[in-house]
Amino acid sequence: MLYIGIDLGTSAVKLLLMQADGKIEKVVSKEYPLYFPYPGWSEQKPEDWWNAVVSGLEELLSECDKTQVAGMSFGGQMHGLVILDEKDEVIRPAILWNDSRTTKECNYLNEVIGKETLSHYTANISFTGFTAPKILWVKANEPDNFERIKKIMLPKDYIAYKLSGTFCTDVSDASGMLIFDVKNKCWSKEMLEICGITEDQVAKIYESYEVVGTLKKDLAKKWGLSEQVKIIAGAGDNAAAAVGTGTVGEGRCNISLGTSGTIFISSEQFGVDKNNALHAFAHADGNYHLMGCMLSAASCNKWWMDTIINTKDYAGEQADIKKLGENKIYFLPYLMGERSPLNDPLARGTFIGLTMDTSRADMTQAVLEGVAFAIRDSFEVAKDLGIPIERSKICGGGAKSPLWKKMIANILNIKIDVIESEEGPGYGGAILAAVGCGEYASVEEAATKLVKVVETVEPTPELVTKYEESYQKFKKIYPAVKELFPLIV
C-alpha cells in the first residue's frame, strides 16, 4: 500500500508518497506567501495552504497506482491560530508561530495569571508564539472577529478538516496551544475560561496515529482515489520529524535545523522542567517529550546568504571556513526574538567582535556557530535535568550541510546520526498514516523498522575543547546586551 505524508511548513508544503516498506516514491513541494503586515507580525492565508495542498496532491498522485493509496497524515507548523465562522469561512489570516505581537498578552498570562498556575494547568508557561495569547490578542484588538469565531484550528488541522470534514487535532500539536492539559491529554477548562472560549470551539482530540475520518467523496472522485482513504490525525512538525527520525520511546534525541531550530527529547514519562525553559508536550508515539525551540535556525543562514550577501551558493560560502573553534566573531541568532530558553520576544540578531580584518567567511561561520550555540543553551537545560544525551538524530534543511553537522557534534560533544531520509515531518506523517492504517502495530515499531542511520558524525577532543571555550564566551553575550534590546525595538 501507499501512504501520503503532508508537511505543512512555513514557506511551503511538502508532500511525500511512501511505500509500506518506507521507500519514498515521490516528493512534491509547493510554496506559498508569508506576510509581515507590521514589524513582528507573521501571517499566512489558510486558503493558500489548501490550494498548495490540492495542487501538490494532484502532482504527487499523477503517476502512481491510486488504488494503492490507503491513508494520509500530517506534520505541520505549530501554534498558528486559524479561526473559522459558522459558515466554515476563514475569518482572518492565520497568526503564525513566529509572530511576536502578543507580548502584552504573554505578560498578562505569565505575570497576572502566573507562571506556576499556567504550568499547573498546561505544563508550560506562555510564549509569544503560543496560541492562547493569540486568542487573547484577537479578543482585545479585533472584537468583531472574536465574536464570529465558531471553530479554532491549528494549521495542519485546517487541512485535515478540508480533506475529511472532521474537526480534529492531535495531542502533540494541541500541547503547544497553552489551553491543553498535557499531563492528562485533555482541554484545560481553566485556560478555556481565561481565553473566553468554550470547548465547543476547540477540536476533538486524537492521538497522532488515530484515524479521524476518510477522504471526502467529492475529493476522492476528483483525484481518482477510494472513498475509504483514511485521514490520520498527524502531529506538530517537531513531533512528526521525531517520528521520521526514529526519535520515539525513552530517552532519544533529535535536532531539527529548519526555519526554526529544536532539540527534541522523547520520554515514556510525563515530566516538566521546573523553570519551564523547555516545553513539556505530548508526543506522537503516545508518550511525551521535552523540547527546546529557537525561533530562527536555518532561517538565519538563509537570511545571511540570500538577503545580506546575496548568493545561493551555500556550499561554496562554507568551503572557505577552515578554522573551526577559532572564530573571534559571534552571532546571536535572535532575528525573530527568542523562545527557549530565553523567552524574550525583544531579543534581536547581533554580531559582535568585528574588526578590520573580519572576512565574509568569518561572518558566515559566526552565523552557523551562533545557531549551534543557541541549540546548546537548551541542551544544557536538559543536562541539568539529569537527562543523559550521548547522541542525536538530525533533520531539516540545515542538516544537509556537512560543516554544520560537524559544528553541532563538537559544540554539543555528542554523536550526530544522519538518517537515510532527510524528509523529517513529511516522512513522519507518512509513517503515522501507515500506523493508522494498521500497517504497523505502533509508532515505535514502524520507526524502528523504517528509519535507517547511514552516517555518524563524531566529535573530536581537540575541537570539543576549542568550542567549549567559545561557548563559554557566547553565553555571556546575551546577558550583557539584554537591556539594550527594548531600547532599539
Residue 219: pLDDT over 90: yes
- Report pLDDT digits (tens) over 330-365: 999 999 899 899 989 899 999 999 999 999 999 999
The pLDDT value given to residue 421: 79
**366, three cell numbers:** 559566526
204: left (phi over 0), alpha (psi -120 to 50) or beta: beta
pLDDT band at 308 (very low <50, low <70, confident <90, very high): very high
The pLDDT value given to residue 40: 84
Distance from the Cα of residue 8 to its chain's centroid: 10
Percent of the chain exceeding pLDDT 90 equals 91
Rounded to the nearest 10 degrees, the angle between the axes of helix 402-412 and helix 360-384 is 40
Homologous superfamily of domain range 2-238: ATPase, nucleotide binding domain (3.30.420.40)
Q: Minimum mean pLDDT among 108-112, 234-238, 258-262, 482-486: which range? A: 258-262
* Residue with the three cell numbers 532599539: 488
**Rounded to 5 degrees, what are φ and ψ at 85?**
-95, -175
- Report pLDDT digits (tens) over 48-90: 999 999 999 999 999 999 999 999 999 999 999 999 999 999 9
**Rounded to 5 degrees, what are φ and ψ at 73?**
-150, -175
Residue 98: pLDDT over 80: yes
Rounded average pLDDT over 454-459: 97
- From CA 98, how far away is CA 264, in angstroms rounded? 18
pLDDT band at 279 (very low <50, low <70, confident <90, very high): very high
The pLDDT value given to residue 273: 84
Residue 24: pLDDT over 80: yes
DSSP E strand boundaries for 182-321: 186-187, 204-206, 211-214, 230-232, 235-236, 253-257, 261-267, 279-282, 288-294
pTM (2 d.p.): 0.91
The pLDDT value given to residue 100: 87
Domain coordinates in residue numbering, the chain? 2-238
Q: What is the mean pLDDT of the chain?
A: 96
Rounded average pLDDT over 122-146: 97
Residue 422: pLDDT over 80: no
Radius of gyration of the chain from its Cα atoms, rounded to whole angstroms: 21
Residue 160: pLDDT over 90: yes
Q: Minimum mean pLDDT among 132-146, 332-346, 403-417: which range? A: 332-346
180, containing H or E segment? strand 180-181
The pLDDT value given to residue 424: 81
The pLDDT value given to residue 266: 94
The pLDDT value given to residue 274: 82
Rounded average pLDDT over 231-256: 94
Rounded average pLDDT over 231-244: 96
Rounded average pLDDT over 313-341: 95
CB burial readout 358-391, b (16+ within 10 A) else e: eeebbbbbbbbbbbbbbbbbbbbbbeebebebeb
The pLDDT value given to residue 232: 98
The pLDDT value given to residue 3: 98
Q: Is 237 in the active site?
A: yes
- Cβ neighbours, 10 Å, residue 308: 12
* Residue with the three cell numbers 498556575: 117
- Catalytic option among 157, 237, 273, 285: 237
**405, three cell numbers:** 553537522
Percent of the chain exceeding pLDDT 70 equals 100
